[in-house]
Structure 1
Amino acid sequence: MTIGERLKSVRGETSQDEAAKLLGVHKNTLGKYERGERVPDAEFLVVMLETFPEIDPAWLLTGEGAKLREKTGYRSAEGVSLKSVAIQKEGLGPDEYVKVARYDVHASAGAGALVANEQIVDYIQFKPDWIKTALGASAKNLALISVKGDSMEPTLSDGDIVMVDTSDKQFEANAIYVLQNWGSLLVKRIQRKIDGTVVIKSDNQAYEPETVRGDLVEQLHVVGRVVWYGRRG
């Protein structure tokens, strides 16, 4: 069962229109979440758990375990800060979730956003097993930053949050990477050709691709590979 199917299961007989109003999103947005056309962001999931406090957070995020919390001792997500996006489960130890820092920088899906600073603004918590099995990554190497611009539409939109594996700097076929270029961060799709050249592409066809000669590829400063993204409703 996908996370979209789990979201649909949670609302049950409640109409999509009514559920969208309860969750503070447009009906079309909820529909895209349920059909798997968009990935629900952490803020939406917190609101979901506030609205349906009987739902087990681990099940909602990963599909593992029981759908409903134990009737004895479960607590709602009331009081959880939307800024900290801390999804918690009663009885879990401190090592059951890992925090991934979100930094006050933007990776531009466009001409390039300046890296003003690297201040941590908040954290999003994830299950370590999901990070390991679904992403094939280690939490200590992950960072969250925001996307700015439209050159990676429809894959990434302005305001999306991307998770970057800073240990993965080797170009894979057609993967998305964050690059640093003269004080700016760029998020682009990378394609390596057989002759050693690298093509830096935008998913938005309105933007022309750029080609880097093989002898200049080593000068590219690769921050890391994008392994996950979240989108606001």
Structure 2
Amino acid sequence: MTQEQLGALIGTDKTVISKLESGRTRLSQARMMAIAASLGCGVAELLEPVAPSVPGWGDDASVEVAEVDIYGDRRGGFLASHEGRPQGFREDETIAQWRFPAAYLSSELQVRAAAVRIVEVRGDGMEPTLMPGDRVMVNLADQSPSPPGVFALWDGQGVVIKRLELIMGSHPPLVEIRSDNPHHRVYERAAADIDIIGRVVWVGRRL
């Protein structure tokens, strides 16, 4: 029912209904009874609070995201290898399945379920932002360090999680690779020489 239709039922116009809905006009008892009668309900139903809804969250609309073991077979796992150089994404062994509301992934994180993986954080390089044992979600569809952020990448020895930033004006393009732990050094690499797996978009931690 539109505001105009409800206004006509109780002898007023849509402007008054709009003000009632927004709280700019006080809802009198007489008008409340008129609205209830027009809607075929009791006054108590009009006063009953309604919990806000989040699209999709109230349904059983959930999707699975695989947690993969990136610390197992380093040459044939998360990144495939050819003659010693990683050549792109290759699926690792799935060790767990996490369930997320589909609406949370699409609306809040703005990722596709098929393009994300959960991985475990190991080492102290990203403390205190990320702690050993944390799980992070990596968006494989976002491999650009501009804007800067936290990424999973192949550093030549294995998969690590670091903060990356493209150094503007550098030619050829350089990327600064930084650990949040101040005890780890900051270094630079040519963008062409690093293999970015994806951007970290979510973290889960046991308290």
What's the TM-score bracket when you normalise by the shorter of the two chains? 0.5 to 0.7
Match of 1:199 among 150, 153, 176: 176
AA aligned opposite 1:97: S
| Cα distance in 1 for residues equivalent to 2:180 and 2:75 | 23
Q: Deviations over 1:86-138 (max 9, x none)?
A: xxx9x955xx100000012249xxxxx94674210111111111111111111
Change (3 A) 1:217 1:159: same
| Cα distance in 2 for residues equivalent to 1:116 and 1:158 | 24
CA deviation after TM superposition for structure 1 residue 173, in Å: 3.1
- 1:181 aligns with 155
TM-score (norm 2): 0.60
Change (3 A) 1:152 1:223: same
| Cα distance in 2 for residues equivalent to 1:145 and 1:222 | 15
Q: Which runs of 5+ in 1 are unaligned?
A: 1-62, 67-88, 108-112
Matched, 1:103 2:68: yes
Matched, 1:161 2:135: yes
AA aligned opposite 1:104: D
| Cα distance in 1 for residues equivalent to 2:76 and 2:124 | 20
- 1:82 aligns with none
Decide which structure has the larger Cα Rg and report it.
2
Q: Which runs of 5+ in 2 are unaligned?
A: 1-50, 78-91
| Cα distance in 1 for residues equivalent to 2:147 and 2:123 | 23
**Bigger RCO (CA 8 Å, 6+ sep):** 1
AA aligned opposite 1:171: P
Matched, 1:125 2:102: no
TM-score (norm 1): 0.54
CA deviation after TM superposition for structure 1 residue 174, in Å: 2.9
Q: Percent identity?
A: 28
| Cα distance in 1 for residues equivalent to 2:186 and 2:191 | 15
Specify the SS of the correspondent of 2:69: strand
AA aligned opposite 2:188: T
The answer on whether the counterparts of 1:176 and 1:187 sit within 8 Å (CA) in structure 2 is yes
Specify the SS of the correspondent of 1:148: coil
| Cα distance in 1 for residues equivalent to 2:147 and 2:196 | 15
Change (3 A) 1:193 1:182: closer
Matched, 1:148 2:122: yes
Corresponding pairs, count: 138
| Cα distance in 2 for residues equivalent to 1:170 and 1:131 | 20
CA deviation after TM superposition for structure 1 residue 178, in Å: 0.5
Specify the SS of the correspondent of 1:105: coil
CA deviation after TM superposition for structure 1 residue 194, in Å: 1.4
| Cα distance in 1 for residues equivalent to 2:185 and 2:119 | 24
Runs of 4+ in 1 over 6 A off after TM superposition: none
Q: Deviations over 1:169-202 (max 9, x none)?
A: 1112330000013350010000111123210000
- 1:42 aligns with none
Specify the SS of the correspondent of 2:70: strand
